[in-house]
Amino acid sequence: MRTTSFSALAAFLLALPLAQTAQADFQLSSRYSDSDGDMVADVPTDSSQWRDPSTLIFAYTPVEDPAMYADVWSGFLDHMSEVTGKRVQFFPVQSNAAQIEAMRAGRLHVAGFSTGTTPLAVACAGFRPFTMMAAEDGAFGYEMEIITWPGSGIDDVEGLKGKEMAFTSETSNSGFKAPSAILDAEFGLQAGRDYETVFSGAHDSSILGVVNHDYTAAAIANSVRDRMVERGVVQADQMTTLYTSQTFPTTGYGVAHDLNPELQEKIQEAFRTFDWQGSGLEKEFGSGGESQFVEINFKDDWEVIRTIDEANGVSYECG
């Protein structure tokens, strides 16, 4: 296994003149304004543009079994309902693109967007992230891992040459953007030329694909793998890790920019005051050490993700 805390990817990124360009190239859709320079959409100044829906729609980042996560989040959504005085409904999404489009179209009000999707949601859907899950001491994040199955014949990352590599989706940080940059920068391996790519749609699908030998290797978020092992869906010895990245921020939770500001504050209060003890969130995410929601700053906490996007030539153009 190859592990890196400050990988060649970091050196590669630092060697590029991206400290300014990553900031400069990130622009919100023309539909939104950012008068305070925090890189997220402002709440409309005209109160007639504020929305105050009777039912709040919540969506968690796409997973293979959305119904299971409806149960995981049910206690929290009940709490949000009590705090806001609104009915709250879980909305299972099938893809990152569908989740972004739902918020952009006004059909999604509160959401958790995956690490790599968060910048696109901010730019194109008016997403205002304000919190993420963290451990009791405030530590947060996960690592990208490239995994294979024991006996696959691949003993190191170089062994991926000529093989098939599974990614989740093109908007995923650990599922595509970071590993693509790492494979190119650190190992000189480029998609199409040195290895074939396939997209599974979700981290749990990639993990199951490796375990079942459908995929030779896959890039995944190790937090998802750890939760699947904890639930007994897969066994740890069914996978072997070829590479571990530096730590990245995890799923960002937030709201649509045009919700009534008082409602936005109530939603934030629901995240701040939720009691994890004995909850579905504790059962699902506690195995990874997460036990609370902490405040985040998109401009600062997602800088490394925007820099990876810049290195990969990602565009946020969305009209």
In the chain, domain spans: 16-139+250-311, 142-248
User: At 307, is the pLDDT very low, low, confident or very high (cuts 50, 70, 90)?
Assistant: confident
From the candidate CATH numbers 3.20.20.105, 3.40.190.10, 2.60.40.10, 3.50.50.60, the one assigned to the domain spanning 16-139+250-311:
3.40.190.10
Q: How confident is the model at residue 5 (pLDDT cuts 50, 70, 90)?
A: very low
Distance CA 147, CA 204 (A): 13
What pLDDT digit, counting tens, does each position of 68-111 carry? 899 999 999 999 999 999 999 999 998 999 999 999 999 999 99
Judge whether 56 and 73 are in contact, CB under 8 Å.
no
Residue 319 banded pLDDT, cuts 50, 70, 90: low
Can you give the pLDDT at residue 309? 86
Q: Tell me if residue 215 falls in helix, strand or coil.
A: coil
Worst-scoring range by mean pLDDT, 262-266, 268-272, 302-306?
302-306
The yes-or-no answer to whether 16-139+250-311 and 142-248 have a common fold is: yes
Lowest-confidence range among 45-49, 78-82, 241-245, 301-305? 301-305
Predicted pLDDT at 207: 97
What are the structure tokens assigned to 223, written together?
């937090």
> Residue 1: what pLDDT?
47
Name the more confident of 68 and 58: 58
- At the top level of CATH, which class does the domain 142-248 belong to? alpha beta
pLDDT tens per residue, range 203-225: 999 999 999 999 999 999 999 99
Quickly count helices (H) and strands (E) in the chain: 12, 12
Whole-number pLDDT of residue 316: 78
Partners of residue 47 on adjacent β-strands: none
| CB-based contact 133:252 (threshold 8 Å) | no
Q: What's the pLDDT at 26?
A: 87
Greater model confidence, 312 or 144: 144
- Put residue 289 in one of left, alpha, beta given phi > 0 → left and psi -120 to 50 → alpha: left
- Checking if the pLDDT of 4 tops 70, the result is no
